[in-house]
Amino acid sequence: MANTTLDAGVTMERINQREKLFNRICAGVLIAFALLWLIPLLWAVDTAIKPNAETTRTTWLIDNPTLDAFTRTLRDTDMWSWYGASFIISSLAALGTVLVASMAAFALSRMRFRYKNVVFWAILAGIMIPGQVLIVPWFREFDALRLLNTYWAVILPQLPAAIAVFIFKQFFDGLPRDLEEAARMDGASFFRVYRRIVLPLARPAVAAVAIFTFVTTWNDLLWPLLVLSNPDLMTVPVGLATVQGAFGIRYADTMASAILGAIPLVAVFLLFQRQIVQGIAGSGLKG
């Protein structure tokens, strides 16, 4: 009996050692890949802080690092105006999407009415329709509405996001109902329950939908490219796309413009890393 325990102990020890070695190899491979993934970003930063004339010398070390490329890019492009447009459009899209989708989901989750299932499935079917296949009719529609070259042309098609309704409904369905039922007994209106009880409890879902709508709207290229031809209204991606050829061989300036274009979203990422990761993990959102 003592013998078998000893045996088991030795086996466990061996397994543990094998496991440790295996884990170490895993870590090594993983670090190699992570560094490989960081190289393009680091090289972009490295290029941007070289003087333009020295960017073709392919050394990582820089004798005379400079931020000139950044000041030049900020001066010569409309970067500040692109930031402003992107910020207004993405914020309004995020706010609007959260509002209309959470309200619709609240009705679908908490109220009883006729054709509820029909409404739910009709909305769910919208997930199947990618915005990209609608660009032709959208363009004609916004032309007819006289809204081409306005922020509304970019914001409005983003708002009815079926996937957001689905996410909110799933979240609301999982919330305990005692509190709101007590509030309803006390005569609170549905709007009050939604505003004061359900929405505050649903903060993780609100954060996920808001951040995702913000990021996807910020990064969208095809549709804003079609409707924002006025340079004063261009978003960051559209602006970068239109000036990308203008830098020629001034590689430091090109990389500076790329980094400046990336900074706001890198900040969003660093601030909301947890919500973003949980949002993806929980629902599998993809643009």
The residues in 135-164 that bind another protein, with binding defined as CB under 8 A, are 135-141, 156-157, 159-160, 162
∠ CA 97-283-238, nearest 5°, is 50
Q: Cβ distance 260 to 79 under 8 Å?
A: yes
Using CB under 8 A, pick the residue from 74, 103, 175, 179 that binds another protein.
Answer: 103
Q: Can you give the length of the chain in residues? A: 287
Residue among 67 and 99 whose Cβ is closer to another protein: 99
Interface positions, 176-195, toward another protein (CB under 8 A)? 178, 181, 184-185, 189-191, 194
The amino acid occupying position 229 is S
Tokens linked to 134? 């609608």
Stretch that binds another protein, among 67-75, 87-95, 116-124, 195-203 (CB under 8 A): 116-124
Using CB under 8 A, pick the residue from 79, 167, 199, 237 that binds another protein.
Answer: 237
Q: Using alpha carbons, list the distances in angstroms from residue 201 to 172, 173, 176, 205.
A: 9, 12, 10, 9
Interface positions, 211-230, toward another protein (CB under 8 A)? 215, 218-219, 221-222, 226
Interface positions, 36-95, toward another protein (CB under 8 A)? 37-41, 43-44, 47, 56, 58
Least Å distance between CB 170 and another protein?
7
- Of the CA atoms within 13 Å of residue 116, those in its CB half-sphere come to 12
Residue among 66 and 170 whose Cβ is closer to another protein: 170
Residue among 66 and 135 whose Cβ is closer to another protein: 135
Least Å distance between CB 96 and another protein?
8
Number of residues that bind another protein (CB under 8 A): 102
Least Å distance between CB 108 and another protein?
8
